Amino acid sequence: MSDLISIIIPIYNPNEEYLNECIKSVLKQSYHNLQIILVDDGSQEYIQKQCHRLSQMDHRIEYYRKENGGVSSARNYGLELAKGKYINFLDADDYITPDYMRQLYNMTPGHTLVCSGHKKIFLTKSIEHPAYNQIDKYNMDVIGTVWGKLYESVNNILSDIITI
Alpha helices in the chain (DSSP H): 16-27, 45-55, 71-81, 100-106, 154-163
pLDDT at residue number 17 = 87
In three state form, how does the secondary structure of 42-65 look?
A: CCCHHHHHHHHHHHCCCCCEEEEE
Mean pLDDT, all residues of the chain: 81
Best CA proximity match to 52, nearest among 82, 60, 61: 61
Write out pLDDT tens, residues 106-135: 888 777 777 765 555 555 655 554 554 444
**What CA–CA distance (Å, rounded) separates 112 from 108?**
7
pLDDT at residue number 102 = 93
**What CA–CA distance (Å, rounded) separates 52 from 38?**
9
**What CA–CA distance (Å, rounded) separates 41 from 72?**
10
Write out pLDDT tens, residues 90-107: 999 888 889 999 988 988
Most confident residue range from 119-128, 140-149, 154-163: 140-149
Helix (H, G, I), strand (E, B) or coil at 78: helix
5-163: CATH topology = Spore Coat Polysaccharide Biosynthesis Protein SpsA; Chain A (3.90.550)
pLDDT at residue number 163 = 39
48, with CB counted inside 10 A (0-12, 13-18, 19+), is middle
Write out pLDDT tens, residues 40-86: 999 999 999 999 999 999 999 999 999 999 999 999 999 999 999 99
pTM beyond 0.85: the answer is no
pLDDT at 139 over 50: no
